Structure 1
Amino acid sequence: MLRVLTLSTLFPDASRPNFGVFVERQTLGLAARPDVALTVVAGIGVPPWPLSRHPRYRQFAAVPTHETWKGVEVLRPRFTVLPGTAGRFHAPALLRAVRRGIRGREFDVIDASFFFPDGPVAIALGRERGIPVSIKARGADIHHWGHAAATARQVRDAGLAADGLLAVSRAMADDIAALGIPAEKVKVHHTGVDLARFAPVDRLTAKAALGVAGPLVVSVGALIPRKGHDVVIDAVARLDGVTLLIAGEGEARGALEAQIARAGVGDRVRLLGAVPHAQLPALIAAADVMALASVSEGLANVWVEALACGTPIVVPPVGGAPEVVTAPSAGRIVPREAGPFAAAIADLLGAPLPAEVVRAHALGFTWEANTVALYAHLAGLVQTRG
């Protein structure tokens, strides 16, 4: 029996059901193995009172500190995040909380599913307990925390000390190496997609259910500047008769609403708000194109989910995009500007691709393969230490 401690500050809870669903799915796959005993510690950062009373944090009060989540034991200790410190003290605070939560429990390996703050915490716990540590890089944990002045050294030191490292794409692995961490320590561990749920449907029927007639573009991602929804809105504004539906919520909603009003496209560009992950397949499969103009990504799950639905994608040359868009039948990789995005979307709308041809590009991304690779990686670290 392999006893795994999974650390992840990127994990869903009752107040944030869409938060880190890809980490959840990876974890559930590993936990389902009969030869694995897995405990998740998903720390929740909360600022000191009275900031803790802000609606953004007050919602966490109802989240249990210990529960069974979809059949897996999950501990959710709170740790203090100090405003104005740029994350410098996140890891020490989380470490104290995790220590309390796992006191008296024994593990064989620690799986940190996000590089920061989970990575430095995993290293400290691994040293204390004499067990191996794996850390996975997904995107912002390297692109932001790995370069921010307050946290870059913590990220680099954790990567150097880890027994093994995982990256969601080859590009992500290169970004880790660029921090001064040996490239040979890093394995590429692709995300998976549920091919049974994310599958082609009759588009006309699916569009009708959404109240859409004519060409449809969908974008999925938090309403934050980094996701580049403003670029896609400007692109679609140039394409007469094309509808854009954006699934996500976040701080940029007001700015995007104002942009839509200025462009005069409120009749065909809609912000849907947070859409439950269970409802995403129907939305994405209805679309003729999925467009996401992110500033940075590791390997976005929604790219692969769209392909599995038979929906081609338009994305910038970021992260693992070339590992997903390997042929024109998967979509287009274009500069992160409204003009190139509009041209690529128009190109795909003008020459529709058979859904099964597009879907073929997703068939190599399965959760089954993800689970097998993760188990082999973690078990191998234990054997090497043993």
Structure 2
Amino acid sequence: MKILTFSTLFPNSVKPGHGIFVETRLRHLIASGQVESRVVAPVPWFPSRHPRFGPWAAWAAVPRHEQRFGIEVAHPRYPVLPKIGMNVAPALLAAASRGAIGRLLDEGFDFDVIDAHYFYPDGVAAVMLGRYFNKPVTITARGSDITQLPNYRLPRRMIQWAAAGADHVITVCNALRDEVIELGVAPEHVTSLRNGVDLALFHPTPRPAEQSPFTLLAVGHLVPVKGQERIIGALPMLPDVHLRIAGDGPDRAKLVQLAQDLGVAGRVDFLGAVRQAELVQHYNQADALVLASSREGWANVLLESMACGTPVVASRVYGTPEVVAAPEAGVLMNELSARGVADGVQALRANYPDRTATRRYAECFSWDDTTAGQLAVFKALVQRDGAYCHA
């Protein structure tokens, strides 16, 4: 089968960690030997890397075409319009991508399915493109695209339109599947396929026989939804605990100030952005990963940590209880607060699991089942009728 992967969430040479979960799933799908794929990953248009554009300016340096892990990736540009951009983004995204997709067809890549990731604007644009090119479309719901964006009136209407127009919807957890069905999609058109974990990349490494102090690790973009302030806020209640924060983002200065205000700055290390390969050592050096997010679809960092043998303390949001479902995995917080973090850490320490058992738990989450599920969905669409295939 030939699959066109379509998403603004896809890594590139300038932002190698951007949407890496989409690339990882695709790489495992291609490794099955049953799928060939090209990627169209649009990026915002900016005229130059002028400082006045701030962090957005980096998009100007993204190449028009590149190859990642043997996968051909095109990066067409789409305009981002101030104030009204959210409402017109799907149409602008679709219009900007038609040329790149048309060139793929002209070059002989007559794909069978458009596989889109993230419902808005990507999924809406994908359904527009599917109608234009007469191809079936799948959309994967990943989190805030279903839990947050439908709170806005016009995006909600377009998300519902795309959900009804897509040939199949995939969700990364059962909780999101329920949300999609509530939007009006027939249950038989929604499949839950959780993300897996790269068990070869994320693995246990030797640890010092005696490790002190007890060390927490937080991994994620420094934005309010990730809740790093709750973890820092828990440290006064955990006087013998240190915290390492991997990630960067707009909240960094605020979090640094919070640590100073609470008198715990000497126990907090800000690591900045960390590549996946380097995260392995941080997972292994930590005694627990803490994820205090207010929203998550399926948090990949939880399984990455467990695959390294490090248990987790996590908030009870959407797909997380499906990941942290046994004592060897870790502890779910009872409340979303600094106190909830502190209580969760103390509960984990009081009944700390064997790290080899944590690793064994993670081994149940390989990518094999996810890949098989995707293949089943795609094959059903391709075989359903001949109206779409190479029309």
State the AA in 2 paired with 1:43. Answer: P
1:240 corresponds to which letter in structure 2? P
**Matched residues, number:** 380
Match of 1:261? 260
User: Hey, what's the Cα distance between the residues in 2 that align with 1:50 and 1:4?
Assistant: 33
**Does the C-alpha gap of structure 1 residues 93 and 48 become closer, same or farther in structure 2, counting only changes over 3 Å?**
farther
What amino acid is aligned across from residue 167 of structure 1 in structure 2?
Answer: T
More off after superposition, 61-70 vs 226-235: 61-70
Secondary structure in 2 aligned to 1:136? strand
Matches within 5 A, 1:1-386: 2-46=1-45, 54-85=53-84, 87-104=86-103, 105=105, 106-204=110-208, 213-334=212-333, 335-386=335-386
Return 362-371 or 84-93, whichever deviates more.
362-371
Could you say if the C-alpha distance between residues 96 and 206 of structure 1 is closer, same or farther in structure 2, counting changes exceeding 3 Å?
farther
d(CA) in 2 for partners of 1:225, 1:206: 35
TM normalised by structure 1 equals 0.93
Q: CA deviation at 1:350?
A: 3.4
Q: Is the 8 A contact 2:45 2:60 kept in 1?
A: no
What do the CA deviations read for 1:131-152 (whole angstroms, capped 9, x no partner)?
2110000112112223223411
| Cα distance in 2 between the residues matched to 1:286 and 1:55 | 34
Superposed CA offset, 1:249-301 (max 9, x none): 11111110110110111111112111011111111122111111111111100
What do residues 126-180 of structure 1 show as CA deviations (whole Å, max 9, x unaligned)?
1222221100001121122232234111111101111111000001111212223
Deviation at residue 52 of structure 1 after TM alignment: 9.2
- Unaligned segments of structure 2, at least 5 residues: 387-391
CA–CA separation in structure 2 for the residues paired with 1:259 and 1:338: 13
Distance change in 2, residues 1:265/1:173 (3 Å): same
Tell me what 1:210 maps to: none
SS, match of residue 328 in structure 1: coil
Note closer, same or farther for the CA distance 1:147–1:180 as it changes in structure 2 (3 Å cut).
farther
Q: How many Å separate the matches in 1 of 2:285 and 2:187?
A: 40
Q: 1:50 to 1:70 in 2, by over 3 A?
A: closer
Equivalent-residue separation in structure 1 for 2:58 and 2:241 (angstroms): 37
- Structure 1 stretch displaced more, 40-49 or 144-153: 40-49
Report the Cα distance in structure 2 between the residues aligned to 1:83 and 1:277, rounded to whole angstroms. 33
Deviation at 1:198, TM superposition (A): 1.4
Following superposition, the deviation at residue 369 of structure 1 comes to: 2.7
Specify whether residues 101 and 43 from structure 1 end up closer, same or farther in structure 2 by C-alpha distance, changes over 3 A only.
Answer: same
Please state how far the C-alpha of 1:222 moved relative to its aligned partner: 0.4
2:170 alignment partner, SS class = strand
Q: Secondary structure at the match of 1:291?
A: strand
**C-alpha offsets along residues 67-122 of structure 1, whole Å, 9 cap, x if unaligned?**
21221010001101111125111111110111011114121111002212111111
RMSD of Structure 2 on Structure 1 (CA): 1.9
Contact 1:11/1:42 (<8 A) preserved: yes
Q: Structure 1: any 5+ residue segments left out of the alignment? A: 208-212
Contact 2:46-2:57 within 8 A present in 1 as well:
no
Distance 1:321 1:125, change over 3 A: same
8 A contact 1:46–1:57 mirrored in 2: no
The equivalent of 2:389 in structure 1 is none
In 2, Cα distance between equivalents of 1:47 and 1:157: 30
Alignment partners' CA distance in 1, 2:208 and 2:282: 12
Aligned residue identity for 1:295: S
AA matched with 1:140: S
